[in-house]
Amino acid sequence: MNGALAIFAKTVGLSPVKTRLAADIGKADAEAFYTLSIKAVAQLAEALQKQMPNQLTVHWALAEEEALEHPAWCQFKTLWTGDGDLGNRLHTIYSRLQKTHDYVMLIGTDSPQLSPDILLNAINQFKKWPQSCFIGPSLDGGFYLFLSATHIAKQAWTNVTYSWHTTLQQLVVQLKQQNIDVELLGRHGDVDIAGDFVPLLEALQANDNLLPAQEQLLDWLKSR
């Protein structure tokens, strides 16, 4: 099977990043954290590709059209998410990749503690039940991963309030209204505010097989 992994990201200097976190710790530290998170997620994707040779294509799904040729994103292919809110951007990327790949996985940069095995397990589960949609719930009521091969109408994405404690619940309702079966994966944290550093630190410390960029992130968290 030929899969696509799209990583939603913003470009420091072109868009504000981690604005809620910046309100807690300052813009400079928030951007430093974001840069480390991007490195960790990039290494995560690269490691997953190595476990799935010639079976997975990775894309940066970028918020800024002018960033498509930016050197920060040269590691993988780049796509512009288009304008609009997050629901519209998710629809744009998912629907585009869904036409040319056997399945599409969407993640962000807010969960840099994820391991390649977590993503690989999601793909293996999908292969057993390819008609289902697999979603990874985050601790705050959102989701850190979305994986499906099914056509999804635009309104399923846009009729959801994002960055809210019922985001996942709303998305599941929308999908089930389209008669799409939903399977939930294991819960993991994501970072939106300074208080999210504690579960992130604990998750990184509990992992004996950290990627180099995750070790850098762990050192940064410990130094705070």
Residue 14 belongs to domain with CATH number: 3.90.550.10
Instruction: Indicate the average pLDDT of the chain.
Output: 97
Residue 6 and residue 145 in contact, taking contact as beta carbons nearer than 8 Å = no
Asked if the model's pLDDT at residue 65 lies above 90, the reply is yes
Q: Assign 224 a pLDDT band (cuts: 50, 70, 90).
A: confident
133: Cα within 13 Å, side-chain hemisphere: 24
The total number of structural domains in the chain stands at 1
| Closest of 197, 182, 87, 89 to residue 139, by C-alpha | 197
Alpha-carbon distances, residue 91 vs 37, 157, 166 (angstroms): 24, 6, 19
pLDDT of residue 78: 98
Q: Which domain holds residue 186?
A: 3-222
pLDDT tens-digit profile of 157-192?
999 999 999 999 999 999 999 999 999 999 999 999
What residue type is assigned to position 174 of the chain?
Answer: Q
